[in-house]
Amino acid sequence: MEIIDELPGKTILLLGNEAITRGAIEAGVDVATTYPGTPSSEIADTFSAMAKYLKKKKEKPPFYFEYSTNEKVALEVAAAASFCGLRALTCMKHVGLNVASDAFMTYLYVGCKGGHIIVSADDPSCHSSQNEQDNRYFALFGSAPMLEPSTPQEAKEMTRLGFELSEELKLPVLLRTTTRLNHARGPIELRQSLKSKGKGHFDKDPMLVTVPAVARAQHPLLLRKMEKAEKISEKSPFNEIIELGKQSNAGIVTSGVSFNYVKEAIDDLNINAKILKLGMTHPIPRKMCENFIKSCKEIVIVEELDPLLENQFKTIIYDMKSNVKIYGKSTGHFSRLYEYNPDIVTEALSKIFKVKNPLQKPIQPKLKLPSRPPALCPGCPHRATYYAVKKAAPKDTIYPTDIGCYTLGKAPPYEVADLLLCMGSNAGTACGLSVSTDQKIISFMGDSTFFHAGIPPIVDAVHHNHDLVITVLDNRTTAMTGHQPHPGTEFDGMGRPAKSIKVEDILKGCGVEHIEIVDPNNIKKTTEAFKRALAFKGPAVVVSKSPCILLENRDKRIAGMDIPVYYIDQEKCRQCKTCIDRFACPAIYYAEDGSIHIDETQCNGCGNCADICPFEAISKKGAKK
């Protein structure tokens, strides 16, 4: 495993996320926690892979790592490690920080002891998310020092040095990243790793108990820490001025991945400008910014999403009574929407600097291409559950859904996703719908989501006797983010045996009186179970249990077992299209003559199409090559 085995001094190619993990290892991190979420997942997955790799070699990992139940728990676990003097890292996707925010906001009052890096992986353009919130606000909101890397190498160094910054300020540091950093690969120069401590000691301190009197005393301390942070920011190696071309009084202020686009655009446009590249973006170095403003006649601010730097610069300019012209979002040159790219930045700078944009206008194919959106995999057990639900439920049924692969049930022909806010919202909104309409309600959440945020709304449903059906799609893993374990699995993130908590046991404990446990691959029995659940007056929960087909087939491959493939007997097929129009497995397709076939390279061998075919035209054909 090159990320831990290669020697210091060597340069290797790493994903931005892997670079963050490597930075933490080089800093001697003791405790790392997470709840998986794209685009942050590989930070934690790399800790997990390292722990398992070392376990195999019979070596003790230098850290403790866990996939926590949710982001709030993850932050609390790591904060406690910091209170014991250990170095800790917590990583999550941007919306995860919403879940952890209750802990986050007061943690900043209390402050940390051992260095603590909190990674927020933002997702401009919502590549894999339900919103594109700008988490830099959290640094301003809670008063957290913030670092923003532009490249994987910088991500590693900011993580490594961020621990020192955190310890100097006694504050957790927010490492704010975006998808194009998390999922970019770049060369990483390895350094010697510090030895981790292993165990620390919790020294009791009444100031750790945030009763009102303590909170009132801590708030001014926090503000003072931020004054110190600003002084550090003035001298931070991550804030620098880069002059490109001839000396110029045009300035560009930028941070994060936008810096990369700015740098290349300046080259391509052949313009002269100096760049203030901010890596420590909260607090910004006010004096450095003032001096930069003084040296410029006009300043362009290039930042993705909200105008945080732009507004802060305007405040400074107002205080300085300067008349420097600011170009950015407020002048309409840049958008508050979606991620930037070289084209967007080059076009905007060409307009501001009044030079010709050398990039060609994008070619649009004249041909209309069929769309290729993500879809439930062939053999996915969720498809079988959805097929059964549609058979059982009346037409006007409402389907609140949740965060996971099963959101893909939104697509036709299933159309079983009507409402989605956040983790756990399926059951919470189902409760609200049950008191607001007489329509039937069947909601869906995954097993990992159930543990994360699904239990409190079920308690609400039981306590108030809401009439609804909640489905737990238990595929034994956190599938969408890359098959991480969760409290229901038999192993933990370090590969150690773990107590597996059964969904149905929790449901019983919550007082759910109608629980159906089904294997969705038996579509007939699953349909009947949903019919009974719908008929029950009060909260009913269907636990639809079948492992993710990708995991099941992986295990089969490892065990040397065959994965079957299915075929359609053209003699028997009457082209009723049930398998295509209603079941819609991506492996089933029309040939040019209109006959229906199964693509063997895509078939994952679940056999559900054989069950739903009314003419028994589909059968097993032997093993996949």
Q: Which residues bind other proteins (CB under 8 A)?
A: 11-13, 15, 38-39, 41-42, 127-128, 151, 180, 183-187, 257, 259-261, 263-264, 267-268, 341-343, 346, 359-377, 405, 407-408, 412-413, 480-482, 580-581, 584-586, 588-590, 599, 601-602, 625
Q: Which is nearer to other proteins, 12 or 221 (CB)?
A: 12
In angstroms, the CA 509 to CA 600 distance is 45
Taking the complex as a whole, the smallest distance from the CB of residue 181 to other proteins amounts, in Å, to 9
Q: Which is nearer to other proteins, 282 or 452 (CB)?
A: 452
The structure tokens listed for 283 are 């607090």
Closest by CA to 354, choosing from 292, 274, 298, is: 298
Taking the complex as a whole, the smallest distance from the CB of residue 259 to other proteins amounts, in Å, to 8
Q: Which is nearer to other proteins, 82 or 254 (CB)?
A: 254
Specify the amino acid at residue 511.
G
In angstroms, the CA 156 to CA 149 distance is 9
Taking the complex as a whole, the smallest distance from the CB of residue 544 to other proteins amounts, in Å, to 19
Closest by CA to 397, choosing from 442, 437, 444, 343, is: 442
Taking the complex as a whole, the smallest distance from the CB of residue 595 to other proteins amounts, in Å, to 12
Q: Which is nearer to other proteins, 415 or 569 (CB)?
A: 415
Q: Are 47 and 430 in contact (CB under 8 A)?
A: no
The separation between CA 394 and the C-alpha centre of its own chain, rounded to angstroms, equals 35
Q: Which is nearer to other proteins, 367 or 559 (CB)?
A: 367
Taking the complex as a whole, the smallest distance from the CB of residue 391 to other proteins amounts, in Å, to 18
- 59 burial via Cβ count (<10 Å: 0-12, 13-18, 19+): exposed
DSSP 351-381: HHTT----SPPPPPPSSPPPP----PPTT-H
In angstroms, the CA 213 to CA 206 distance is 11
Q: Is 466 left (phi over 0), alpha (psi -120 to 50) or beta?
A: beta
Q: Which is nearer to other proteins, 112 or 423 (CB)?
A: 423
In angstroms, the CA 510 to CA 543 distance is 15
Q: Which is nearer to other proteins, 13 or 561 (CB)?
A: 13
- Judged by DSSP in three states, 541 sits in strand
Q: Are 77 and 31 in contact (CB under 8 A)?
A: yes
Helices (H), ranges, 464-581: 503-509, 523-535, 549-558
The structure tokens listed for 166 are 């955190």
The structure tokens listed for 515 are 């629980």
Phi, psi of 421 (to 5 degrees): -115, -55
In angstroms, the CA 516 to CA 388 distance is 14
445 beta partners: 472
Taking the complex as a whole, the smallest distance from the CB of residue 210 to other proteins amounts, in Å, to 36
Q: Are 523 and 388 in contact (CB under 8 A)?
A: yes
Closest by CA to 524, choosing from 404, 620, 392, is: 392
Residue in this structure with the two tokens 């773990």, named with its chain if needed: 498
- Judged by DSSP in three states, 17 sits in helix
Phi, psi of 528 (to 5 degrees): -65, -40
Q: Which is nearer to other proteins, 39 or 62 (CB)?
A: 39
- Judged by DSSP in three states, 12 sits in strand
The structure tokens listed for 544 are 């639809």
Q: How many CB atoms lie within 10 A of CB 113?
A: 23
588 beta partners: 598
H-run or E-run covering 274: strand 273-278
Phi, psi of 405 (to 5 degrees): -55, -40
Taking the complex as a whole, the smallest distance from the CB of residue 242 to other proteins amounts, in Å, to 11
Q: Which is nearer to other proteins, 125 or 248 (CB)?
A: 125
Q: Which is nearer to other proteins, 179 or 429 (CB)?
A: 179
Taking the complex as a whole, the smallest distance from the CB of residue 127 to other proteins amounts, in Å, to 6
Q: Which is nearer to other proteins, 88 or 257 (CB)?
A: 257
Q: Which is nearer to other proteins, 116 or 263 (CB)?
A: 263
In angstroms, the CA 357 to CA 348 distance is 9
Q: Which is nearer to other proteins, 155 or 226 (CB)?
A: 155
Q: Which is nearer to other proteins, 365 or 497 (CB)?
A: 365
